Amino acid sequence: EAGVAQSPRYKIIEKRQSVAFWCNPISGHATLYWYQQILGQGPKLLIQFQNNGVVDDSQLPKDRFSAERLKGVDSTLKIQPAKLEDSAVYLCASSTFRDRSLGSPLHFGNGTRLTVT
């Protein structure tokens, strides 16, 4: 099966500019996640979609970050305006939706590396 696709791979912007990232999950995966991974740290969940709906965005800085998932498939994550501390790798992941008590493995894309100068 094809993996999770993300674009672009790299992006360099100046602070206060805006940027958008795109993700195409594995076909048939109902759940989509955006993670932020700052250098030297583990991934941190920003937002989780179940089909079209948001089920967790508790750690999303909503004053500058937004995300949407169109028709329950592709997703975009936007930052406007960017700050220096947003420099990180933005990882998209997807999973099937099985019994909540069992969960299911996350499949990650290779991420978008954002540098804010």
Interface with another protein, residue 115, by CB under 8 A: no
In the set 46, 111, 114, 116, which binds another protein (CB under 8 A)? 111
Interface with another protein, residue 25, by CB under 8 A: no
| Residues β-bridged to residue 90 | 36, 112
CA-based nearest residue to 106, from 42, 52, 35: 35
Residue 76 CB, nearest approach to another protein (Å): 18
Residue 81 CB, nearest approach to another protein (Å): 27
22/37 Cα distance (integer angstroms):
16
Phi-psi region of 29 (alpha: psi -120 to 50; beta: other; left: phi over 0): beta
| Minimum CB distance to another protein smaller for 22 or for 81 | 22
| φ, ψ of residue 79 in degrees (nearest 5) | -125, 125
CA-based nearest residue to 60, from 25, 20, 31, 33: 33
Q: Which residues within the stretch 42-81 sit at the binding site for another protein (CB under 8 A)?
A: 42-45, 48, 50, 55-56
Q: What is the contact surface with another protein in residues (CB under 8 A)?
A: 4, 31, 40-45, 48, 50, 55-56, 91, 93, 95, 97, 100-101, 103-111, 113
